[in-house]
């Protein structure tokens, strides 16, 4: 147990939301759980610590749409294949989303440890403001270099639609100019014949 109950033991970085989430050891004391979740991400007790390793399953929980912090506000925008990172001390662990579930609060089977697997599940309440269910976004550990490559490809894919739209607009403008010139600008031969 850390002496300073406000000490940060890990950060979570999610490319999809451009946010960094912090967690302290306060959630180990029931009277401190809500205070932790108002300002950071909590580690669900009785799940693996967020240090990675085979046969581990860390569950990190956080609020959505707080006026004071972004936290897991955009967690529902994550898709299979997205990557997120957990920074623990001087190490960065990379995870790729492989499962997204919406379950009732009592349905905890998806949070179980699986032999030989290194999972992290990001958990938040859903739907927003109703909070009758839990959104579970699970990631499986991948090499950091692979995660960076995936993130770069996803960024390129996100930029691609802009270029496609710009090319489409340019084509429409060129077609419009061509039609204008072809139909509305009189040909020299026609103008000469009309004067006679």
Q: What is the pLDDT of residues 54-86, one digit of tens each?
A: 999 999 998 887 766 778 888 999 999 999 999
pLDDT computed for residue 175 by the predictor: 86
CA dihedral 111, 113, 114, 117 (to 10 degrees): 100
Whether 185 shows a pLDDT value over 70: the answer reads no
Mean pLDDT (the chain, rounded): 79
Q: State the chain's maximal CA–CA distance in angstroms.
A: 102
What is the DSSP-derived secondary structure letter of residue 46?
A: T
Per-residue pLDDT tens digits for 128-150: 888 899 999 999 999 999 988 88
In 3-state terms, what secondary structure has residue 58?
strand
Contact 71/61 with Cβ under 8 angstroms? no
pLDDT computed for residue 60 by the predictor: 92
pLDDT computed for residue 47 by the predictor: 92
CA atoms of 21 and 73, how far apart (whole Å): 11
Both tokens of 83, joined, read 């990557």
pTM for the predicted model, two decimal places: 0.68
Pick the closest to residue 51 from 115, 119, 145 (CA basis).
119
pLDDT > 70 in the chain, percent? 68
Q: Model confidence at 151, in pLDDT bands (50, 70, 90)?
A: confident
The whole-number average pLDDT for the span 112-126 is 96
Residue 174 Ramachandran class (φ > 0 left, ψ -120 to 50 alpha, else beta): alpha
Bridge partner residues of 12 (DSSP): 21, 86
What is the DSSP-derived secondary structure letter of residue 44?
A: P
Contact 64/75 with Cβ under 8 angstroms? yes
């Amino acid at each position: 147990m850390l002496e300073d109950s406000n000490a940060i033991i890990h950060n979570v970085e999610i490319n999809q939301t451009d946010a960094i989430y912090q967690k302290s050891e306060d959630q180990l004391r029931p009277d401190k759980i809500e205070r932790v979740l108002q300002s950071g991400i909590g580690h669900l007790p009785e799940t693996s610590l967020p240090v990675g390793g085979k046969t581990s399953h860390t569950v990190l929980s956080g609020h959505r749409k707080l006026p004071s912090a972004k936290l897991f506000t955009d967690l529902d925008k994550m898709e299979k294949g997205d990557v997120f990172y957990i920074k623990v001390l001087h190490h960065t662990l990379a995870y790729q989303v492989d499962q997204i579930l919406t379950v009732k609060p009592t349905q905890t089977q998806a949070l179980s440890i699986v032999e030989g697997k290194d999972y992290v599940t990001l958990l938040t309440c859903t739907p927003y403001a109703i909070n009758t269910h839990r959104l579970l976004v699970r990631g499986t550990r991948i090499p950091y270099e692979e995660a960076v490559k995936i993130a770069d490809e996803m960024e390129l894919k996100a930029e691609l639609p802009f270029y496609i739209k710009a090319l489409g607009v340019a084509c429409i403008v060129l077609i419009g100019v061509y039609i204008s010139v072809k139909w509305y600008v009189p040909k020299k031969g026609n103008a000469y014949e009309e004067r006679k």
